[in-house]
Amino acid sequence: MERVPVLKIGDILLVSIQVDMQDQTALALQEDLADRIVATGCHGVIIDITGLDIVDSFVGRMLSSIASISRVLDAETVVVGMRPAVAITLVELGLSLDGIRTALNVERGMELLALARAAEPDDTGFDLGLDLDGFGSPATP
Amino acid sequence: MTAEVELGEPQAVPISADEDVVRVRQLVRTVAVATKLSLVDQTKLVTAASELARNTLVYGGGGGAEVTVLDSGRRKGIRIVFADDGPGIADLDLALTDGYTTGGGLGLGLSGARRLVDEFEIDTAVGRGTRITVTKWAR
């Protein structure tokens, strides 16, 4: 069985799927990614599917699972590079890819992750529900 | 329908393991390109074939797919037959409902595949296996 390589670039894990994956390969990718997120502490995952000429319900479910697993591990997932014909087919198939962020290409995906990271109130990953406006700015006399 | 002619011999792929689903996709893609289906129609047919080949493996316990190029006189098409000797489908209406699954999947395989092709026929009975025939015509 082939394995899909997971690359670390800065604070981001990049997966570029280039092969017609067997179901087992897709499941292995899910596990590899979870391991790598924990091992590296990365906060973003980009999955490039430019190389996929179809996304069926199995791969669609894998993408949704990866997004959910990453979120639990404090990382955001962006799926990039979906071909137009694949998008049309996915919608007709009935897959909604719930909870998945998408971007047109890797560059836009990285921008999206940077924005998502910047919007977080602190680096712990917890939202304490505190109003942190002005937090860290010089105290007013 | 009556004037349909088969072009060439059907090409058969046995489905008994994970990698056979990939083989079915590759064969259908090759034939769809050769038959000059549009890119969107190629994508739809290969996706439908992937769903049905997986069903043949997972629910039917294995079987086979047969791909045939058709000529209706006006246009060309591709017919794929998926057959297994598995347990069959007890409640076909339910099996064709979006979101219904007995296998832990999304329940979109059968219903979704039906939406992606032009013609969809299913012949199944409990204990007799399942035979699904799909056809996609070039536009």
The enclosing H or E element of A106 equals: helix A106-119
Alpha helices in A41-101 (DSSP H): 57-72, 84-93
The enclosing H or E element of B13 equals: strand B5-15
Domains of chain A (ranges plus CATH)?
6-119 (3.30.750.24)
The answer to whether residue A81 scores a pLDDT higher than 50 is yes
The answer to whether residue A140 scores a pLDDT higher than 50 is no
Q: What is the pTM of this model?
A: 0.88
The predicted complex's ipTM stands at 0.89
Percent of chain B scored above 90 by pLDDT?
Answer: 78
What are the angstrom distances between the C-alpha of A109 and each of A8, A31, A78, A81, A112?
15, 22, 6, 9, 5
Q: Could you read off the pLDDT of B85-116 as tens digits, one per residue? A: 999 998 888 888 888 888 767 788 899 999 99
Q: Give pLDDT, residue A141.
A: 46
If phi over 0 gives left and psi between -120 and 50 gives alpha, with beta otherwise, what is residue A125?
left
The amino acid at residue A92 is E
The domain limits of chain B are 5-137
Interface contact flag, B43 A89, Cβ < 8 Å: yes
Interface contact flag, B54 A54, Cβ < 8 Å: no
Rounded to the nearest 10 degrees, the angle between the axes of helix A57-72 and helix A23-40 is: 10
Give CATH superfamily name and number for B5-137. Histidine kinase-like ATPase, C-terminal domain (3.30.565.10)
- Which is higher by pLDDT, A110 or B105? A110
Q: Give pLDDT, residue A135.
A: 52
Closest residue in chain B to residue A58, using alpha carbons only? B105
Nearest to A56 among B26, B47, B111 (CB): B47
Distance from CA of A28 to the nearest CA of B (A): 13
How many inter-chain contacts (A to B, CB under 8 Å) are there?
71
Q: How many CB atoms lie within 10 A of CB A111?
A: 12
- Which is higher by pLDDT, B109 or B40? B40
The answer to whether residue A116 scores a pLDDT higher than 80 is yes
Segment among A3-7, A41-45, B6-10, B112-116 with least mean pLDDT: B6-10
Average pLDDT, chain A: 88
Average pLDDT, chain B: 93
Calpha distance B67→B133 (Å, rounded):
10
The answer to whether residue B12 scores a pLDDT higher than 60 is yes
Tell me if chain B has a CB within 8 Å of the CB of A53.
yes
SS3 letters for B47-71?
A: HHHHHHHHHHHHCCCCEEEEEEEEE
Torsion angle of the four alpha carbons A67, A72, A74, A75, in this order, in degrees rounded to the nearest 10: -10
Q: Could you read off the pLDDT of A10-48 as tens digits, one per residue? A: 999 999 999 999 999 999 999 999 999 999 999 999 999
Q: Give pLDDT, residue A119.
A: 86
The answer to whether residue B34 scores a pLDDT higher than 50 is yes
What are the angstrom distances between the C-alpha of B92 and each of B85, B114, B122?
16, 13, 9
Q: What integer is the mean pLDDT of B111-126?
A: 95
